[in-house]
Amino acid sequence: MALSGLLPDVLVTRLDHLASLLRKHSLWPMPFATACCGIELMATASSRYDIARFGSEAMRFSPRQCDVMIVAGRIVMKMVPVMQRIWQQMPEPKWCISMGACASSGGVFDTYATVQGIDRFIPVDVYIPGCPPRPEQLIRAILDLQEKIQKTGTIDGREFAQRDVYEGPTALARELAVEKTIVAPGDYTTATRWRVPLN
């Protein structure tokens, strides 16, 4: 072959860099799609967007074969134990993508049954905004995740030893100073509702 004269016989690199390079180009997603974002997730595997260009087309529905969990759509409280069990069954190293407004913050579903952000229960690496987000945004998130893997990856997964603290966004009330918080005026201890007698 003509390439034999161009390539060296010995290639020197760091093992951490090599492991990160291999990991970032062989992501196997675990789709956890519950709503309309799942349709956009399926569209990324079509010929128009072709997520296979980035090495992420091998979607598996067995958590023991996956290393990226893509949570697409709204999650209700009854689904949280299932989502956490799937997350715990995935082998390290593993990453998570929160796809859409519902998975990231609850979206328009501000109810007691809908989870207001999956980052309260599992660590999230990349957030995708939108309702529903376009397939291009998911591809951008995959590329961002690949960049994160390349920068922080090690061959023995040392970067995941620090994942024992909460990594998600903090509540706004904790970020405001006491003098900037607003308390509604009035005494609500004696408030009663108007009751209209039924005739």
**In this structure, which amino acid lies at residue 84?**
Q
Q: Is residue 191 part of a domain?
A: no
111 in any annotated domain? yes
Q: Collapsing DSSP states into helix, strand and coil, what is residue 33?
A: strand
CA distance 166 to 170: 9
In a domain, 189, yes or no: no
CB neighbour list of residue 154: distance below 8 Å, 6 or more residues apart? 16, 19, 20
**Residue 132, preceding peptide bond in cis (omega within 30° of 0):** yes
Of residues 98 and 49, more confidence is placed in: 98
Q: Is 17 domain-assigned? A: yes
The answer to whether position 2 is within a domain reads no
Note down the domain range covering 134.
Answer: 12-180
Q: Identify whether 166 is part of a domain.
A: yes
197 lies in some domain:
no
Residues 59-77 pLDDT 10s: 888 888 888 999 998 899 8
How many domains does one find in the chain? 1
Mean pLDDT of 84-109: 87
User: Residue 186 above 70 pLDDT?
Assistant: no
Q: Judge whether 7 lies within some domain.
A: no
pLDDT value of position 172? 46
Would the pTM of this model clear 0.85, i.e. be above it?
no
- Distance of alpha carbon 100 from alpha carbon 127, whole angstroms: 8
Which of the 8 DSSP states describes residue 165?
S
pLDDT digits (tens, 9 = 90+) for 129-167: 888 888 888 888 898 888 888 887 777 767 666 666 655
The DSSP bridge partners found for residue 97 are 70, 126
Token pair for 36: 């309309």
CATH code at position 96: 3.40.50.12280
